[in-house]
Each structure stands twice: as structure tokens, then as C-alpha cells.
Amino acid sequence: MARTYPLPHPGRRPSTPGLHRRGRLTAALAAAVLGASGLALAGPATAAEAAPTAQAAPAAVPAHAVTGYWQNFNNGATVQTLADVPDAYDIIAVSFADATANPGEITFTLDSAGLGGYTDEQFRADLAAKQADGKSVIISVGGEKGAVAVNDSASAQRFADSTYALMEEYGFDGVDIDLENGLNSTYMTEALTKLHEKAGDGLVLTMAPQTIDMQSPENEYFKTALATKDFLTVVNMQYYNSGSMLGCDGQVYSQGTVDFLTALACIQLENGLDASQVGIGVPASPKAAGGGHVEPSVVNAALDCLTRGTGCGTFKPEKTYPALRGAMTWSTNWDADTGNAWSNVVGPHVDDLP
């Protein structure tokens, strides 16, 4: 996902670790609200009274979902708090985690100064509130300028340990892999498998490969997606900043068209990923990427083409994929820059997919 500067499986039953993580955040948020109101928090008198706490489990990702990247930096797009992100977004990817000097290890620091004084305390409270509204908030790793090296078993372990530590500390529901400077499928798969073992089936795992990374199932990114298919949530490929690419029919398609979206999605859909694990990733505005922006109506046409067989361009898939997960945009901030024009159009359409 480009840090662009102006002129760049269906949700599953949560495991116990995810349940405890969300429960702690919800309790903390409730305590903060009640404390500010001057109300006392009393312990439950009976097991029945304690039962509601056990319901604070991570919400399942909807069958059709909208993913948006939230910028933890100011690059000229609208500066937002997490609370500002519109309700249309089902998965919010916090961009980005930072690499440490130890290969594979990541950390996260809120850019309070760049975000107009947004505090860590406010961020955590907003994150918990989004989750209470049924949203998933995950930490994104990589971006245009981010490089996390996972090239052996030791760094794979550090990646899993440090990512899970951030999930425990902040309450993130999972991780987004947006490594644009290459990855090793063997060891990234090892890292993600170890993370899944720690977090359980409540883990939300998304990926945002570039178009070149998903042209063939022999590519490292594609191999990673297939190797983690049993717990992968969605691959939101970046259908932009790439120029022309081959579609699944062997024809060349130009970015910025409905055919580019549908014919390239077809490669993933016909080479091992479940339809529920495929999403369409596009820029929210022309300023958000160097090329490949399409109007929200074109995104909706591509979604209809793939799920219903209507709205297609010259390319029409041989079959439909009603379980297609949905769409993604870079970023919620660039979306806000245009009055949320992207999410206002694409969000309701995704909700209405078959």
C-alpha cells in the first residue's frame, strides 16, 4: 500500500485468546466511561450477572466486507482518528507497524504529533469502541516504504511473537500483510502459522499484494496466500500503480477499467483461493495513487460482474462467484478527503452482494 504523497474465510468462531483480548478491552472502555461519570464499578454477585462479560467476543468478519486502511501519519490526506472512520468499513487496517533492528520483529507507535495530538489513550478507546460496533481492527505490516525481513525460522518466530504482543497490548484482531518489497513464502507462512496457533481461529488475516505478485500461483505472495488458506480472511490485491497486466484469459488489460478488476480477480478465483478470500483493492481518490483510480461505480460494476454476471466489460467470467468477499481502499483518509465518496457508494453495494 503506497504511502502516497501528493505530487504515491468468512469470519470464524473466536478462540479463547481472542475472546479474552476483546473482553479486556471492552471492560477497560466501560471502566473509563463509568469512571468519568463518577459511577462505581461493582463486582458481579452471581455467575449469571457475570455472563455478559463472556459475550464480548471478536465479531465475525461479514460474509461481504469493506476494508479500509487508516493512516497513522499525515501525508496531505484528511487526518482522522479511528472514531472518524465511517461505519461502512468492516475491517480497518492501521497503517503501519514499524520494523525493529531485530529481523522479523515489529512494533507500533502512534504518530500523535502528526495526527494533531491524538493520544495513545484515545486511540485505544476508539479501537475498542469500533470493535464494540462489530468492526475488526488489525495492524498492517509493510506499505510502500516498510520492509520486514522474515527469511528464516528465527525471524518467523519473532514476527509471530511481536505481532501477537501487539494484539494483546492494543487489542488488534489480527494482521495485514502489505509487504511490497518482497517476501519469502516459506518463512512468512511459518510466521503466520505460528501467529494463528497463538491467536486461534479468531485471527483476522488479510493481505494486500501488488498485481505482479498475484499473476501466478508460483509467485511468493500467491504461494503464501495458498499456504495459509485454512485461516486466511481475504486477499485485497492492489489493482493500481501497476500498468497493464494479464487476465486469467491470457489477454492484456489496462488498469483503471472494469476488465482489469474482473480479469485479474479471476486469476485468484481460479487458482486455489476461495471466493470469500478475494477482494478488490482500489485507491479512494486520484490523489491516493499514481495510477489505476476508478470511479466507485466501476468498482460496483466489477463486483456485480464477478458475483452476478452483470455489469461486465469485454471480459466476462465463465461463472459467477457469489461468495466474493468485497472491496478495499487506500485509504479511509483519502476517502474522507472527497467527503467519503468511495465508501458512501461502494459500502452499501458490498452489503447488498448476494
Listing DSSP states for 7-18 in one string gives ------PPPHHH
State the Cα angle at 25 between 166 and 335, rounded to 5°: 70
- Would you put residue 326 in left (φ > 0), alpha (ψ -120 to 50) or beta? left
The residue type at 43: G
Query: From CA 219, how far away is CA 104, in angstroms rounded?
Result: 21
DSSP E strands: which ranges in the chain? Answer: 65-71, 91-95, 98-99, 106-107, 136-143, 174-179, 204-207, 234-238, 245-246, 252-253, 278-283, 326-330
- Residue 133 phi/psi, 5° resolution? -85, 5
Beta carbons of 19 and 57 less than 8 angstroms apart? yes
* Catalytic member of 49, 169, 180, 295: 180
Task: Give the SS3 label for residue 156.
Answer: helix
Query: From CA 337, how far away is CA 46, in angstroms rounded?
Result: 50
Active site (annotated) includes residue 144: no
Which helix (H) or strand (E) segment is 161 a member of?
helix 153-170
- Would you put residue 339 in left (φ > 0), alpha (ψ -120 to 50) or beta? left
Query: From CA 237, how far away is CA 219, in angstroms rounded?
Result: 14
Q: Which three cell numbers stand for residue 69?
A: 486502511
Residue 167's CB: how many other CB atoms inside 10 A? Answer: 24
Task: List, by residue number, the catalytic residues.
Answer: 180
